[in-house]
Structure 1
Amino acid sequence: MSGDPIVVVGGFMSWPWRYKPLARALREVSGAPVYVVPMTPLDWMMGAFRGFGQLVFAIGRTVDRALLETGAERVALVGHSAGGIACRVYIGGDHPYGGRRYSGHRRVSRLVTLGCPHVVADKRGLATIAEVNRLFPGALHKPAGIEYVSVVGVAADGSKSFRTRRRYERVTDDGRVSGDGVIPVSCAFLPGSERIMLDGVFHHVGLGRWYGSDPETVALWWYGESSGQAPLAEDGSTR
């Protein structure tokens, strides 16, 4: 695995300090320096009205710091939940976003997303994600050498829990599916990326063992060791 510095981008309405345990575990597993983007709930609230542009600037500043302090040429990005969508905007492409053109792909070697809602239903509240999917579809820079990895936990069945089903239906039409308790398996796989499912892993620490709970769990997705057993249909959903 590359020794590139790692930049962690937290999820919607999260505080940076919540990712310190994940950063410590990732540092132990990878041996690489780990940086957490200092995005706060206020940044996310502004992003909800203005799009991901403000959040992308924060990612860019942290990436620049990581490269300056380590002397590396590229970083690995780890985006949790909606943070993975912001990472895709930073990586950018041929189209401008919010009036600006981002070219983070020149500074990124790998994107790992954890419980990220890449594929969502056509709902008004998900228009920002739909726009990102339109402008920067799938593993856009995979041919240029960026590695894309989509990780999702298989820990909660929406067909057995009304509360879980309601969470899933924020991003999908039918919540009677499996996922990490917040994001269904069918939504978490970016087209063209490597797919990893992890048995018994939840979306965040409030639900139980999550993606950043300990070095053992982190090692599963960092080194690409899928433990999920649910077979996938062609559309990425669990059967």
Structure 2
Amino acid sequence: MYGNLCKGRAPRNSTFCKREARPRVLQACPTSLSATRLIQEERFDNFVTHAAYNDVKNLPEPEWQDNQLRWSRPTEITQVAAPPGSPPIVILPGFGNASLDYTAPFGNQDASLVTRLQVRGWRSFVVPLERKDWFRVAGALFTRGFWQGKLTTHPGYSWYLERVAETVEHAISETGAEQVILVGHSAGGWLARAYLGDLRYQLHQPADGTVLMNIAATAASSELPAHGTKGVTPNPRVRALVTLGTPQRPPPAEKKRDMTGGAQGWVDRSYPGAFFAAKGVSYVTVCGRTVMGHRDFPRVREGPRVVEEYAFDSYYEVCGEGEGQVGDCVVPLSAAMLPGARQVILDGVFHSMSQIGTFDEDSGNVWYGSENVLDCWLGPLVDELELNTPAGTAECGAGTSATPMGLPQSWSQT
């Protein structure tokens, strides 16, 4: 798909395409990064560069407007159909989200992530949640481990992981597939990492071939590993993991308290980076570069807080810093990327499908599941699924992208 964009491009970081002279407006485009690669595209008749970058830290500085970047879908991105035999997708909702946010946001089923995936041939299943279910996380507050910051995913998130396990089994039963793709939105991403490695959920199916549809009920009558038992191999039911705007690690202890009571930090220490890449699991991490956080600055206000202030507060909660941090208005880019994963940065894409600070009103902004956005991460996902060798190096936990610098082969035109 990208093969004819820039013929004769010099290698590495610093080369401009030779094109007809036009005003130079350098803008980072929303597209995929393989091994933290950014490719800029031509739009609006502007002179642009097509460059490859080895590191997210070397991204070109875009032109910010009111500390925000605007989304524009690259013209070369086309709809990404599910390849034959693709595993079903299991969607893990983010903190505070309900299943309806992914099946019928604001009552609009046609605009949902599930429907947009279905149009492309992807079977998808959403972990069943209501917003009130998240109050169950508060149970961890009554433990000493929470206040000491020493918790695993138990007890605060055990209920969530049980539902993930049940949904995975349901997806396999419904489709006849052997594996699934986990797509975790926000906190659903780091909880997906926990499920992937937790020994408790790596049970074999019974000899008669029946599917364990209720993991919690089975646990009551069987000897299972305790919640939060770290495994050294990935769950065999998982082929790939995609995280959308996920805070992958807690803030540094010297800057901010881990509000998960240690659970998030335990997951990141137990399974750092693309931990199971060498054992056949493909990783894609996605984050928007959309809002720059600021606390005190001159700006005309239309309400109690402008978007930069909201971003400042959220980034501070995630990484202990807010001023000058950039991200999707909720999670900063610096916290969203897993080392060794296929990385995707999308300029102008927001964290959620809802109005900032609420789930009651559509913001009108694009998010990761919007119709003209999701192909930008589905493409890299398909690339990972089609690779003949697992992403990563020979040593588990030290994975790197298996795609060399340059353009994804399956996205190129011949």
TM-score by length of 1: 0.86
Counterpart for residue 227 of structure 2:
98
Tell me which of 83, 105, 108 is aligned to 2:188.
Answer: 83
> Could you give the per-residue CA deviations for residues 32-53 of structure 1, whole angstroms, max 9, x where no partner exists?
2110110223332223422322
Counterpart for residue 13 of structure 1:
96
User: Counterpart of 1:120 in structure 2: which amino acid?
Assistant: P
Counterpart for residue 314 of structure 2:
167
- Structure number with greater Rg is 2
Shift of 1:178: 0.8
Please tell me whether residue 189 in structure 1 is matched to residue 337 in structure 2.
Answer: yes
User: Counterpart of 1:125 in structure 2: which amino acid?
Assistant: M
Pairing 1:130-145 to 2, within 5 Å after superposition:
130-145=265-280
CA distance, structure 2, for counterparts of residue 198 and residue 15 of structure 1 = 24
CA distance, structure 2, for counterparts of residue 114 and residue 149 of structure 1 = 9
CA gap of 1:97–1:19, structure 2 versus 1, over 3 A, is farther
Pairing 1:25-40 to 2, within 5 Å after superposition:
25-29=116-120, 31-40=121-130
> Could you give the per-residue CA deviations for residues 79-113 of structure 1, whole angstroms, max 9, x where no partner exists?
00001111111101579773546776210001000
Preserved contact between residue 351 and residue 367 of structure 2 (Cα < 8 Å): yes
Preserved contact between residue 230 and residue 270 of structure 2 (Cα < 8 Å): no
SS in 2 for 1:11: coil
CA distance, structure 2, for counterparts of residue 124 and residue 146 of structure 1 = 28
CA gap of 1:168–1:130, structure 2 versus 1, over 3 A, is same
Preserved contact between residue 5 and residue 76 of structure 1 (Cα < 8 Å): yes
User: Counterpart of 1:114 in structure 2: which amino acid?
Assistant: L
Structure holding more helix per residue: 1
Tell me which of 351, 356, 377 is aligned to 1:221.
Answer: 377
User: Counterpart of 2:235 in structure 1: which amino acid?
Assistant: H
Structure holding more strand per residue: 1
TM-score by length of 2: 0.51
Shift of 1:152: 0.2
User: Counterpart of 1:18 in structure 2: which amino acid?
Assistant: D
Pairing 1:51-90 to 2, within 5 Å after superposition:
51-90=156-195
CA distance, structure 1, for counterparts of residue 227 and residue 237 of structure 2 = 21
Shift of 1:213: 1.7
Q: Which runs of 5+ in 1 are unaligned?
A: 226-239
Preserved contact between residue 292 and residue 325 of structure 2 (Cα < 8 Å): yes
Pairing 1:199-218 to 2, within 5 Å after superposition:
199-205=347-353, 206-207=355-356, 208-214=365-371, 216-218=372-374
Preserved contact between residue 7 and residue 36 of structure 1 (Cα < 8 Å): yes
> Could you give the per-residue CA deviations for residues 150-173 of structure 1, whole angstroms, max 9, x where no partner exists?
000111111472221111101112
Counterpart for residue 230 of structure 1:
none
Q: Which moved more, 1:170-179 or 1:93-102?
A: 93-102
User: Counterpart of 2:345 in structure 1: which amino acid?
Assistant: M
Tell me which of 107, 127, 133 is aligned to 1:43.
Answer: 133
Counterpart for residue 150 of structure 1:
285
SS in 2 for 1:112: strand
Tell me which of 239, 243, 246 is aligned to 1:116.
Answer: 246
SS in 2 for 1:111: strand
Shift of 1:24: 1.1
User: Counterpart of 2:266 in structure 1: which amino acid?
Assistant: E
CA distance, structure 1, for counterparts of residue 228 and residue 282 of structure 2 = 27
What is the percentage of aligned positions where both structures have the same residue?
36
CA gap of 1:116–1:74, structure 2 versus 1, over 3 A, is same
CA gap of 1:111–1:67, structure 2 versus 1, over 3 A, is same
Counterpart for residue 397 of structure 2:
none
Preserved contact between residue 155 and residue 179 of structure 1 (Cα < 8 Å): yes
User: Counterpart of 1:164 in structure 2: which amino acid?
Assistant: A
Please tell me whether residue 107 in structure 1 is matched to residue 198 in structure 2.
Answer: no
How many residues align? The count is: 223
